Structure 1
């Protein structure tokens, strides 16, 4: 399921490192709904089958803040499992008209609405990013390297997908998957105080329809449940 959550900010600004604030919002509403459900997602560090993106109309960027043209901001969230979608639906509905701190600002949940999902019927899909794709190569317990959406990065991305999804889908199907960049652009973002490169744009994925559906609903790349890798279908 996909949802749009509309917020109204007290001030027309948001911190650059804003994704962590929306993770706090998600943790908060799940905790208030059912602490066991919150623990299901966040008690251990594991892959979560959802992704989200944040939309706002920016006017000016600084090192610490983004100044906006309006007080409106939207959270788009996509959840793979129907069961998990029901948890999120109930948790989000309980947050309507409640206010949440976001650094030195405050945001109020105005409305929540479900979005129509698109159906994948072929083994080839052109995706457009809704939030940037992070490709993380873990070099050691304390060191990682983030790649661009290029030949080397795509090898790392595919390797990560095989490792992360091998319990959900046959390895044969994962290995046969191909990813082709069309119009991808590199940018630098800040997340939890750390700057690293990410990629946004349009790309094609060829592969098993069930795997393509999973990527569409749960995101692609590293940190998908932390505001990265949410995609929409162009064709």
Structure 2
């Protein structure tokens, strides 16, 4: 399930800005909604070491201006929150949590802004039927070698990048998906079309990541799942959202 949610900010003036490291504020709102809809799911996701098999990104309109530490939203003071999760009961709970958030007025976003969830739109998805699909990132892809090292794609590290990507995806899927499904990940392959290294801010940390367009090869069932839950790791913190 993929949602497009229009956010309207209010800072009390016409020059609304938000931090470049906006993921903590977005995630706080997601958690607020979910905690009011399904306490059990909230506890499972956030009070246990449970993989976050969903992803999100923000889309800023052309009038937005990107500074060193802040994003100026420009006229309208709006942006789009894209959210994606695999179909099933969890998807319904997340959808209902966004509906709950839409019913609230002037939710706290950060120290200077409140936000209103204005419009929630369900995006129709195309089903992947082949073993190869062209994608582009909506938020950068994070690949994690260990607790301290992140890996972005380079021509000289294609093999280790793909190997680490498969390890990251298996770690997220293990426990929720069958062994036969996990075996599909062994054949997953990332081939760049036009990618670049980026360094993103996330919860106060600098995270090395990969952004751009690429081809992903694998079983269509796996490719469809990845499109819904994100590619790589830290997807639940706003990374790895892709579209075809």
1:32-51 residue pairs with structure 2 within 5 A? 32-51=36-55
Residue-by-residue CA offset, 1:65-110 (whole Å, 9 max, x unaligned): 2112230011110110321111111111111142222222111111
- Name which of 81, 85, 108 aligns with 1:75: 81
1:7-18 residue pairs with structure 2 within 5 A? 7-11=7-11, 12-18=16-22
User: Aligned to 2:7, what secondary structure does the other structure show?
Assistant: strand
User: Aligned to 1:24, what secondary structure does the other structure show?
Assistant: helix
Does the 8 A contact of 1:97 with 1:110 survive in 2? no
Looking at structure 1, the residues matched to 116 and 184 of structure 2 have their Cα atoms a distance apart, in angstroms, of 44
Gaps of 5+ in 2: none
Does the 8 A contact of 2:169 with 2:232 survive in 1? yes
Aligned partner of 1:96 in structure 2 is 102
Aligned partner of 1:183 in structure 2 is 194
- Name which of 229, 235, 241 aligns with 1:218: 229
Does the 8 A contact of 1:96 with 1:110 survive in 2? yes
User: Aligned to 1:229, what secondary structure does the other structure show?
Assistant: coil
Does the 8 A contact of 1:49 with 1:81 survive in 2? no
User: What TM-score comes out, normalization by structure 1 length?
Assistant: 0.91
Count matched residues. Answer: 228
Gaps of 5+ in 1: none
Aligned partner of 1:56 in structure 2 is 60
* RMSD, aligned CA: 1.6
